């Protein structure tokens, strides 16, 4: 028997608990909201977009010659059969992870900063992201930069100031699928 959506309910046979005859099936590392999220990772496998002429197959609409960690993160997600999330998807993830200091639900827009928040109780000790880092989105700013969303213990930032150079080796990534 396999619970195909993890801890998320209803946890009932015939609903999200299914029988398996040993045939391979898909599982989700982190079902949050209505999306499946991978385990986060350091995007430290770059693609040399100076010599790799398939850079456009790794998400870039712009010709950018560099040791490109952003393109490497896109490829890592593609290799999992997933995608690097959009700014809106990372904002939706943030909306699912955080509440106000009073415990009220919060909705975070794709380019919106929200401070003075706290993690929901279920994510305090078991959150799907390493807090204190920026996470790549699939969206580019200018040729040498792509957008990120920062996740911290007290809030999240994702406005247009958060363009990071694609050769940033310390950025993190998380992949998404519906």
State residue 28's pLDDT score.
Answer: 76
Residues 41 and 126 in one domain: yes
Residues 66 and 118 in one domain: yes
Determine the Cα angle at 154 with ends 148 and 157, to 5°. Answer: 20
Structure tokens at 166: 């694609």
Domain region containing 131: 33-177
State residue 21's pLDDT score.
Answer: 45
- How confident is the chain (178 residues) per 10-residue block, as mean pLDDT? 59 56 56 89 84 57 74 89 94 95 95 94 84 90 85 87 78 90
pTM for the model stands at 0.79
State residue 7's pLDDT score.
Answer: 59
Determine the Cα angle at 135 with ends 131 and 136, to 5°. Answer: 175
Residues 85 and 155 in one domain: yes
Q: How far apart are CA 27 and CA 6, in angstroms?
A: 8
Q: What is the DSSP string of 64-85?
A: --SEEHHHHHHHHHHHTT-BPP
CA 21 to chain centre: 32
Residues 39 and 14 in one domain: no
In total, how many domains does the chain have? 2
Residues 37 and 9 in one domain: no
Residues 81 and 16 in one domain: no
Residues 10 and 52 in one domain: no
């Amino acid at each position: 028997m396999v619970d195909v959506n993890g801890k998320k309910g209803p946890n009932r046979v015939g609903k999200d608990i299914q029988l398996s005859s040993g045939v391979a099936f898909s599982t989700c590392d982190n079902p949050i909201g209505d999306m499946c999220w991978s385990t986060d990772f350091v995007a430290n496998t770059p693609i040399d977009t100076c010599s790799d002429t398939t850079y456009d197959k790794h998400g870039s609409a712009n010709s950018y010659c560099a040791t490109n960690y952003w393109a490497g993160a896109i490829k890592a997600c593609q290799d999992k059969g997933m995608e690097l999330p959009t700014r809106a998807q990372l904002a939706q993830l943030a909306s699912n992870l955080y509440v106000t200091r009073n415990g009220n639900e919060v909705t975070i827009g794709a380019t919106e900063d929200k401070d003075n928040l706290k993690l929901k109780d279920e994510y305090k000790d078991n959150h799907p992201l390493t807090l204190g880092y920026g996470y790549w989105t699939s969206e580019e700013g200018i040729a040498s930069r792509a957008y990120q969303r920062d996740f911290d213990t007290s809030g999240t930032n994702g406005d247009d100031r958060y363009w990071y150079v694609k050769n940033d080796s310390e950025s993190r990534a998380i992949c998404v699928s519906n």
